[in-house]
Amino acid sequence: MTYRVGIIGGTGYTGSELSRILCRHPDVELAALTSRTNAGKKVSSVNTFLKGYTDIEFTEKISDTKDLDFVMVATPRGVAMNEVPALTEQGIKCIDLSGDYRLKDPAEYEKWYGTAHTDTEGLKKAVFGLPELFRDKIRGADLVANPGCYATSAILAVAPLMKSGLAYPDVFVDGKSGTSGAGMKPSERLHHPTCGESVIPYSVATHRHQPEIAMVTDMFAGGKSDIMFVPHLVPIVRGIISSCYFRMKKEVSQEEIDSVYEKQYGAERFVQYVPEPSIRAVVGSNHAQVGAKAYGGRAVAFGVIDNLMKGASGQAVQNMNLMLGLDEAAGLDFPGLGV
């Protein structure tokens, strides 16, 4: 069976990356992409890297395309919670990449996003889409909230130690992301003379991925965690590294740390536990690299991803595969660039 998939928001970085993956997916037909400004234009005339891979045109609304099996929402926040209810009522499975369905508590959503949630029923049933930790819940789900890029990177590093019970639940997360993580809209901070040879901390104590990291850390810590998250912009286009610092309940050896992470990720296709994680090793792929070091009564763990792939579009396709009962690696089984 071939599944017909549509994307709401087909011209942003995540929507374009979804198009690139899905147009070569063995079990999927890329059936619809929406764009208010480009409606009626050939997708390949706007996203020229898709020439020869799709002949469809942008539409203004997803409802302009009939008989869809699956919809991805790749828009700024606030759109998905208005679009998703009508889609799921029709039996269409959905993934939201925007953040509208990540936080389970409507009050937390309003606190961090500055507006009330309009689909609290959907919020209750949405599954947090990090397959390596929530695979069984994602299988067969109707609505999945794709995690944020920083959140994916940090949670992959933090969760195993929290599950082990070896670390206290107060964690400092030092995140560094390339400029594509800020999206396509130009800004003063993204102006090349500002960011091209600099490292810039931003959104300290206000970044919307912080409550995601805390929410999942709470789940595995068995209680309330204390997360301090400081994101930085670095002068690369793609990639994230999150360095996560822990206080340990007792001094642990490197062998104990290795055992914790190898138990969690040893059988995973897309997460590798390695001595020295590298952004270049994962860029262009859905792979993540995780590393960890014992440091006396402390420990540090690293999570490295491509923010547009495992941090967004690649992970969304991985989730889609699980939701549809497909091979989890379908359309994603290729390595990082390496150089």
Q: What is the pLDDT of residues 252-266, one digit of tens each?
A: 999 999 999 999 999
Q: What is the mean pLDDT of the chain?
A: 95
- DSSP strand pairing (271-273 vs 288-295): parallel
Q: What is the pLDDT of residues 218-230, one digit of tens each?
A: 999 999 999 999 9
265 neighbors 132 (Cβ within 8 angstroms): yes
Residue 149: name the closest of 90, 219, 81, 98 by CA.
98
What pLDDT sits at residue 64? 87
- Predicted TM-score of the model (pTM): 0.96
Q: Where are the domains of the chain?
A: 3-125, 150-307
Answer yes or no: is pLDDT of 195 > 90. Answer: no
What pLDDT sits at residue 333? 96
Q: Is domain 3-125 classified as CATH 3.40.50.300?
A: no
Q: Which helix (H) or strand (E) holds 58?
A: strand 58-59
The tokens describing 231, both together, are 């994101």
Q: How confident is the model at residue 104 (pLDDT cuts 50, 70, 90)?
A: very high
For residues 323-330, average pLDDT: 98
Average the pLDDT over each of 137-141, 168-172, 180-184, 259-263 and give the range with the smallest value. 180-184
The SS3 call for residue 33 is strand
Return the number of other C-beta atoms located less than 10 Å from residue 272's C-beta: 17
Percent of the chain with pLDDT over 70: 100
The catalytic residue positions are 149
What pLDDT sits at residue 29? 97
Answer yes or no: is pLDDT of 290 > 90. Answer: yes
CATH number of 150-307: 3.30.360.10
Instruction: Round to whole Å and give the CA distance between 189 and 182.
Output: 10
Give me the residue label for tokens 């990356």. 17
Q: What is the pLDDT of residues 26-46, one digit of tens each?
A: 999 999 999 999 999 999 999
Instruction: Round to whole Å and give the CA distance between 298 and 281.
Output: 27
19 neighbors 82 (Cβ within 8 angstroms): no
Q: How confident is the model at residue 190 (pLDDT cuts 50, 70, 90)?
A: confident
For residues 2-24, average pLDDT: 96
Average the pLDDT over each of 130-134, 140-144, 186-190, 191-195 and give the range with the smallest value. 186-190
